[in-house]
Structure 1
């Protein structure tokens, strides 16, 4: 629609195995029926039309089969449970906190669909020019096909496609170091680090000059900032939930790096991620992208700050004399120090 990624990534075996919402519903019912219950309740709460629920279920089932508990390439973080984190727990908190000013109608439905669609692909090897990640670009392409399969039309329902395109693209997260004293930090998406959504408008200004004349694109950019805050809202959740997220990410990172958690080689990187890495993410990389996200999760993030610092310091102190024997030792120490599992 705006970025053109739908032409760059083709369907894979997972898409062919789950071609429509009926096959997705059958798989979820067989494997994890509570997902169907929770997503149906959220769709009913926000008044989402049946097509939006169908998109959510089809994307969730494909994520579960491709990278989750329904298939054979399990990712500890990017799996079907992550959909519930965003689409139920965090979106529900947004609705509760913002009350009458919370997203409604198609905007709320877009956030629900985003929860299921934004992490569809995690093993892409083909990147795209610019700051959008290859996984996100491929997820955009598949999201378009999911919308098609669930009864949306690319002309009459263009707003849904554009919104999800920019929301998913904006969820790209740059984990490279950010220099907060760099005067360009608030001016260039490529400098700021963290979620692309915060600088997406500036990148679009340079690459897609007339996007601000398109109301669908303006809406998608706006929703993209809140969507990115939902994706990174662990900073403003209960401290134990924040730390549980860190544990799952650590397990997934080590798996993706080809290091078994009982391998001594997994010890130092696991300590680095669970120690100073958490402090780096929390204080340097993460910044809220929307006023709504900061209003909902900002106070809790402020409360968590000293706890993150203390946990990072405690991890380094625990292994000051010798590195952890392996990744499992680092994970166990972090669990003991934080109460997370």
Structure 2
């Protein structure tokens, strides 16, 4: 691994139960169809690059198998087949990146902007960067425990799907750095307060923006390693893909904020029908979203800025209107009695803006 970590993350029961594509297909059944559609579309988009890579078809097949298994594992851990459903970090998030956002990146930059192996890295990043979501916080080189666990599981996935740490070292290296760079501020909160990744969309930005400094500190001379320099480039693009919800259509952007909020409240064990959730929900959907959108979020790569920057700018004015409108609606109705009341008011305000 690029950064030295103080502990390892072995396979959990979900990984052991879903070791291969056959198990993934058996579990998912018809629920795999949206992913298969996205994979077929991606294969067609990447077809012009197949002649540039020896055994390009084999590469794409192995990549697709990694994605299928990762998709099934996330669905089983925290998605539609889980008893611990996460409203944001579930298999739909994989489709958001793999389908819509990477397709937008290809449309904006052209398929030849990156090599076939690079596109495979980004595709596998979409499926693997959030594989693990419930690890105890540990701070090391700015990389979160969830991301470290996801990296280790991704490496095992690559091995299981026919990749080799020797022959495909560039893929392992790039996935290591792209997943590391997707970390939001990983420092545990003071006093052992409730912690989760969703909370950090309003307290810290993605590590990708600081990767140069982190590599300077932990891997001196890294800029003399061509593979690591290239992996760094891909990590910046991957971070832009991960945070490009800011550039979705406004209704989808607003829905992603709501899902993050729901996930945060669940992980903090706050009941949406209880009074203690009212102010955290209101704060997240107003000050928290404003701070992330306008202060913390920046596109890190030129390809990301070109593909998603204009759409983010189009959302800016409506986000300001949403925050002001929600505050006004709450003020008019009086102090909310629960987080659910705030969410209802949020939905009404969004509906008035689309």
TM-score normalized by the length of structure 1: 0.90
Distance 2:274 2:46 in 1: 46
Match of 1:8 in 2: 8
SS at match of 1:319: helix
1:232 aligns with 2:235: no
Distance 1:29 1:230 in 2: 28
Between Structure 1 and Structure 2, how many residues are aligned?
326
2:150 counterpart (139, 144, 152): 139
**Pairs within 5 Å for 1:99-178:** 99=110, 101-174=112-185
Distance 1:99 1:288 in 2: 19
CA distance change for structure 1 residues 58 and 40 in 2, over 3 Å: closer, same or farther?
farther
Alpha-carbon deviation of 1:336?
1.1
Segments of 5+ residues of structure 1 without an aligned counterpart are 177-191
1:218 aligns with 2:214: no
Distance 1:245 1:300 in 2: 15
1:199 counterpart (210, 215, 226): 210
- 1:205-235 Cα shifts (integer Å, max 9, x gaps): 1111132222221111100000000000011
Is 2:137–2:186's contact at 8 Å kept on the other side of the alignment? Answer: no
SS at match of 1:10: coil
SS at match of 1:209: coil
Match of 2:281 in 1: 270
1:289 aligns with 2:315: no
Match of 1:39 in 2: 39
Alpha-carbon deviation of 1:7?
6.3
SS at match of 1:151: coil
Match of 1:337 in 2: 349
SS at match of 1:45: helix
Match of 1:181 in 2: none
1:316 aligns with 2:327: yes
Segments of 5+ residues of structure 2 without an aligned counterpart are 48-58, 188-202
Distance 1:7 1:57 in 2: 28
1:23 aligns with 2:23: yes
Match of 1:184 in 2: none
SS at match of 1:262: coil
